[in-house]
Amino acid sequence: MDLRRGQAPMNIDLPKNNFDQDSPPISALFIIYFDIKAGYTIGWKRALDGVELEGVVEYKSLPSGLHTVKEDLIYFVHDNNAGLSAFVNAPAAEESRNAQMIAVGVMVPLSYGRLGRSWKHAENLKRMASELIKDTTKTEVLEEYWERHKGHGTTPFNEPESPTEIISTFRKVVILMI
């Protein structure tokens, strides 16, 4: 180690997993799969009141063309929520067109910043999708995740994204106070 005179080594202890501390609460959690007879299907879902999933997340979480990809993250926006799904494509029997495709996704309020900071859930979504591709009926992991991360119907103040927005917000507050 090359230390200059009078300098101490920099030891920084980073938390191994600060996921639970700074991830936004989720408005919805779901699993989507492609059924060769029924098409895009929601296999399991939980959502806060007022968050619509049917006819929305199926097509945004499994967009056309993914059959050529092994895994991916898909971001989307719907109403006041940002969505993120972890897509997995695994080999399957010929009667399933040689592929099994699922996506495990969340929706988070956009009020938490750009894309609702949904990427904070990405690693856990990928892990759950990798587990569930083996057996989509083992939804206990989804239930646990939902209970641990679901929102409670309130959203925080929408944080400004840039100094210009901060000044604009400040001006509006000053004008309202006058």
61-70 long-range contacts, CB within 8 A, separation 24+: 61/30, 61/32, 61/85, 61/87, 61/103, 61/105, 62/32, 62/34, 62/87, 62/101, 62/103, 66/101, 67/99, 67/101
pTM for the full predicted model: 0.72
Report the alpha-carbon distance of residue 31 to residue 35 in Å, rounded: 13
pLDDT at 66: 67
Strand order in the sheet with 81-91: 39-47, 28-35, 99-109, 81-91, 71-78
Instruction: Provide the token pair at 66.
Output: 């993914």
Q: Which residues lie across from 74 on neighbouring strands?
A: 85
* Cβ partners under 8 Å of residue 6, min gap 6: none
Residues 6+ apart with CB under 8 A from 159: 112, 113
From CA 174, how far away is CA 170, in angstroms rounded?
6
Contact 127, 104 (CB under 8 A): no
Rounded Cα distance, 116 and 112, in Å? 5
Instruction: State the sign of the Cα–Cα–Cα–Cα dihedral 148, 150, 153, 157.
Output: positive
Per-residue model confidence (pLDDT) at position 21: 54
Question: What pLDDT is recorded for position 93?
Answer: 65
Class of domain 19-177: alpha beta
pLDDT tens per residue across span 79-96: 999 999 999 988 766 665
Instruction: Note the pLDDT of residue 14.
Output: 32
Between CA 66 and CA 50 the distance in angstroms is 29
Weakly modelled stretches of the chain, pLDDT under 50: 1-4, 7-19, 154-178
Longest dimension (CA), the chain: 72
* Domain positions in the chain: 19-177
